[in-house]
Amino acid sequence: MKLTDIETFVVGNPPPHFGGRYFVFVKLTTDSGVSGIGEAYCVPFEPHLVAKMIEDVFARYVAGNDPHDIETMWRRVYSSGFTQHPDLTLMGVLSALEMACWDIIGKEANKPVYKLLGGQVHERLRAYTYIYPRPGDTKDVYHDPDLAAERSAEYLAQGFTALKFDPAGPYSAFDGRQLSLEALDLCERFAKSLREAVGMKADLLFGTHGQMTAAGAIRLAKRLEPYDPLWLEEPVPPDAPDEMAKVARATTIPVATGERLTTKYDFARLLRAGAAAILQMNLGRVGGILEAKKIAAMAEVDHVQIAPHLYCGPVVGAANIQIATCSPNFLILESIETWGGFHTEILKSPIRFEEGHVIPSTAPGLGVELNEDVARAHPYTGNMLHLEMTQHPVQ
pLDDT(395) > 90: no
What CATH number is attached to the domain comprising 279? 3.20.20.120
Other C-beta atoms closer than 10 Å to the C-beta of 237 total 17
What CATH number is attached to the domain comprising 49? 3.30.390.10
Q: Does one domain contain both 76 and 92? A: yes
d(CA 384, CA 382): 6
* Cα end-to-end distance, the chain, whole Å: 57
Q: Does one domain contain both 55 and 170? A: no
The catalytically annotated residue of 309, 357, 378, 386 is: 309
d(CA 223, CA 251): 10
Q: Does one domain contain both 27 and 171? A: no
Q: For 23-42, what is each residue's pLDDT tens digit?
A: 999 999 999 999 999 999 99
Q: For 63-110, what is each residue's pLDDT tens digit?
A: 999 999 999 999 999 999 999 999 999 999 999 999 999 999 999 999
DSSP secondary structure code for residue 279 in this structure: E
Q: Is 309 a catalytic residue?
A: yes
CA angle 362, 364, 366 (to 5 degrees): 90
Domain that holds residue 58: 3-110
pTM above 0.95, yes or no: yes
Inside any domain, residue 248? yes
Q: Does one domain contain both 85 and 127? A: no
d(CA 331, CA 316): 18
Q: Does one domain contain both 91 and 130? A: no
The catalytically annotated residue of 17, 122, 143, 209 is: 209
d(CA 8, CA 57): 12
Per-residue 3-state assignment (H helix, E strand, C coil) for 142-183:
CCCHHHHHHHHHHHHHCCCCEEEECCCCCCECCCCECCCHHH
Q: For 219-243, what is each residue's pLDDT tens digit?
A: 999 999 999 999 999 999 999 999 9
d(CA 9, CA 11): 6
d(CA 320, CA 323): 5
Q: For 306-315, what is each residue's pLDDT tens digit?
A: 999 999 999 9
Q: Give Cα separations from 249 to 62, 125, 221, 252 (angstroms).
A: 43, 29, 11, 8
Q: How many domains does the chain have?
A: 2
Q: For 261-313, what is each residue's pLDDT tens digit?
A: 999 999 999 999 999 999 999 999 999 999 999 999 999 999 999 999 999 99
Q: Is 48 a catalytic residue?
A: no
Inside any domain, residue 389? no
Q: Which residues contact 3 (CB under 8 A, 6 or more apart)?
A: 28, 29, 30, 31, 58, 62, 63, 64, 65, 66, 67, 101, 104
Is residue 232 a contact partner of residue 212, using CB atoms and an 8 Å limit?
no
